[in-house]
Structure 1
Amino acid sequence: MTDAQKNAFLWVDHEGNPVSCVEKVQILRENDAELRQALQDAFDDGVLMGVAPQAMLQTFQAMLSDLKSPLQGGAQEKES
């Protein structure tokens, strides 16, 4: 994702409306940048230590799947 794409990304609220508060968007962008860098560093370390890139990606995907929402108890709403 390019810098332009990251800046154009819309964070949405629970109703699907764009988050428009400048301070909130700035914090979300900073968090995004920090997480991307941490993930890239961990990915690079793993691959340089001999872990298959696909295995690293699967590990990251498993971590994301385990995230819990502080509001709903899960990162994703279950479809009925």
Structure 2
Amino acid sequence: MNTRPKFPPTWRQPDGKPVSCLEKIKVLNQNIQEIESLCADALEDGVLMGCDADQIKAALHELIEGLEVPYTGKR
């Protein structure tokens, strides 16, 4: 198990400036926590069913990399 401390990132706007709205930061951090929990559950399920942990992690990485950015150019 990875025991490195987990700190939320400094959320940034497309221009590199930090997001300053505390409510937005709170929502982003909650989303990350939920995603982490879902990924951990998927990894645990897969390993318990006899799958290779590295393959499951690779599939999760591929899933994230394949996400399309919504609202591109609308701001």
**Aligned-pair CA distance for 1:30:** 0.6
Structure 1 match to 2:28: 28
- Which structure 2 residues correspond to residues 1-80 of structure 1 after superposition, within 5 A? 1-3=4-6, 5-6=7-8, 9-72=9-72
Aligned residues: CA RMSD: 1.5
Unmatched 5+ residue regions in structure 1? 74-80
**Normalised TM-score (structure 2):** 0.85
Identical residues among aligned pairs (%): 31
**Normalised TM-score (structure 1):** 0.80
Instruction: From the two aligned structures, give the one with the greater helix fraction.
Output: 1
How many residue pairs were aligned?
70
Runs of 4+ in 1 over 6 A off after TM superposition: none
Unmatched 5+ residue regions in structure 2? none
